[in-house]
Amino acid sequence: MRRFLLCSMLVMVMAACAIAASDVPATALSLPKREFRGAWMHIIGQNQYAQMSPEQTRQYLVNQLDLLQQANCNAIIWQIRPQADAAYVSDLEPWSRWLTGEPGKAPQPVWDPLQFMIDETHRRGMELHAWINPYRVTSSEEDKPAPGHIYYEHPEWFLKYADGKIYFDPGLPESRDFIDTVVRDILTRYDIDALHMDDYFYPYPVKGAEFPDTASYNAYGIGWDRDDWRRHNVDLLIEQLHGTIRELKPWVRFGISPFGIWRNKASDPDGSNTNGLQCYDALYADCPKWTAEGWVDYMVPQLYWELEHKAASDLVLMHWWNDHANGRHMYYGQAVNNVMTHRDIAAEDGDTINPTQLDHKLRLQRGMDNVHGVTWWPGYTITSNFNGVLDSLATHQTCQPALIPAYTWLDDAAPDPVHQVKVKKVNGKKCLTWRPHDTDNPMQQSVRYVIYRFPKGKKGSLDNSANILSITGETVFPLPDGGKGDWQYAVTALDRCWNESDPAWK
């Protein structure tokens, strides 16, 4: 009962926020109807979780999602495997110490944070991207794998680098197969929308220290240039995981968030006009290859610098990644602290809503042909309203809901429209209700719904995001004004790849 009442209150808050946005003239905002708006929520280094009870953690996460929804975020990238451990119920890897403070210790009473986040995001019409780190096992010299970890059963699969951390050896087929087994387990048991990995492939280099993979190189890499062999190892993992996802759940996307520089122009004519660490050479991650091969569905380069940065200009890199999208979705990762502490030089001419670089960066990427959205690092800086970022997003830059751009290479068929759209009382509240059409095809299942609102007798455009009242995963929507007012509604269905059905009117 407590959960039902809480969910009802959340839906009311969501609807109220949506109405506030829909009352703003579209001509003044010109916001895209489709735009990925993600937020990373990491658990590594976040000590607050170990200090909370399960009930407190759940309430904390609900509050975080409520605040992110005020910024109209539509995807949460939730960290579930920071160091070959599990922030979910797993028979393969031990519980993460970042949840309970002790490696291998289960929360008491036991609950499943991943399932909880799936339920809470889907209820809000958001996506849940399950974020794993493939190779890292420990995060410091003092850190030790939990009792029962696969490290103790197969120590030959692992290496310790000069940074003091333990890693799976990327050169071993056994390492790739075990990571694939973990991913298969997640896909089989959980209704995630995407699998996500960030920039940690081979470890960030320690100056003067070679990664100690001579044994695996001698076994599998003879005849290869060593750097090319290492890149090939990462390629094999990416290709294998892509195949597993397509085999088990072809609607689940695979996304990568690489370090923001692929290669500098000084190293490669096709590189960017930058001067910084190169993920191709330092981390052995050939990210553009993965989209060109069709192994990865979206890329989120970490563009964590200001627009005018001398060595790594965000302006330069935004254009470079736009030109290397390879027909897949491109979302720019932005560090909120950097965005909100650097003044926009355009502000001096009054050409911005926000005096920071927030408004400028979003306008830049919205003008690029191959960029489809943004992801905020970390989501906690949005929810804490760092330097007013939540206020600005909620009232200006992302004040209207947005659909995620459709993944048409996976599926381009729209689901059937909803039917039996009615306004009726549910538990004493006047609600809009509808029914989806049943189907046995998981690609065509209706999993989210878009509610549009118009003055009665004036059917406006469904292409205008200002007319979106809400995006929800429910089939009952409490009308925020109690059903008062002279309104008409349209409801559309969204399938797992964000194809939108024709509208049904009420």
Mean pLDDT by 10 residues, the chain (506 residues): 37 40 44 98 96 97 98 98 98 96 95 98 98 96 94 98 97 98 98 97 96 98 97 98 98 98 98 98 98 98 96 97 98 98 74 79 96 98 98 96 98 97 90 95 96 88 94 94 80 98 94
Q: Note whether 13 and 67 are same-domain residues.
A: no
Which residue, chain included where needed, has tokens 């999208």? Answer: 325
Nearest to 393 by CA among 33, 127, 31: 31
In a domain, 405, yes or no: no
Predicted local distance difference test score (pLDDT) of residue 225: 97
Pair (238, 252) in one structural domain: yes
d(C-alpha 445, C-alpha 303), whole Å: 35
264 and 357 inside one domain: yes
Residues 431 and 373 grouped into a single domain: no
Q: Answer yes or no: do 81 and 105 share one domain.
A: yes
Q: Is residue 290 part of a domain?
A: yes
Domain boundary among 335, 362, 397: 397
Q: Which pTM does this prediction carry?
A: 0.93
pLDDT at site 457? 81
**Are residues 20 and 105 located together in one domain of the fold?**
no
Claim to verify: residue 173 and residue 99 sit in the same structural domain? yes
Residue 127 in any domain: the answer is yes
pLDDT at 435: 97
CATH number of the domain where residue 504 is located: 2.60.40.10
**Residues 380, 285 share a domain:** yes
Domain-located, residue 362: yes
Q: Reading across the β-sheet that carries 429-435, which strands appear in turn?
A: 419-426, 429-435, 476-478
Cβ atoms within 10 Å, residue 111: 16
Q: Do 347 and 442 lie in a common domain?
A: no
pLDDT for position 458: 81
Q: Let me know if residue 18 belongs to a domain.
A: yes
Same domain, 388 and 430: no
Residues 77 and 218 in one domain: yes
402: in domain: no
Answer yes or no: do 237 and 110 share one domain: yes
Residue 461 near residue 473, CB atoms below 8 Å: no
Longest dimension (CA), the chain: 75
Last residue of a domain, one of 397, 428, 451: 397
How many other CB atoms are there within 10 angstroms of residue 141's CB atom? 11
How many domains are contained in the chain? 2
Write the CA distances from 456 to 19, 428, 460, 485, integer angstroms. Answer: 16, 24, 10, 9
Range of the domain at 445: 1-32+410-506
DSSP 268-323: -TTSBS--S--HHHHS---HHHHHHTT--SEE--B--S-TT-SSS-HHHHHHHHHT
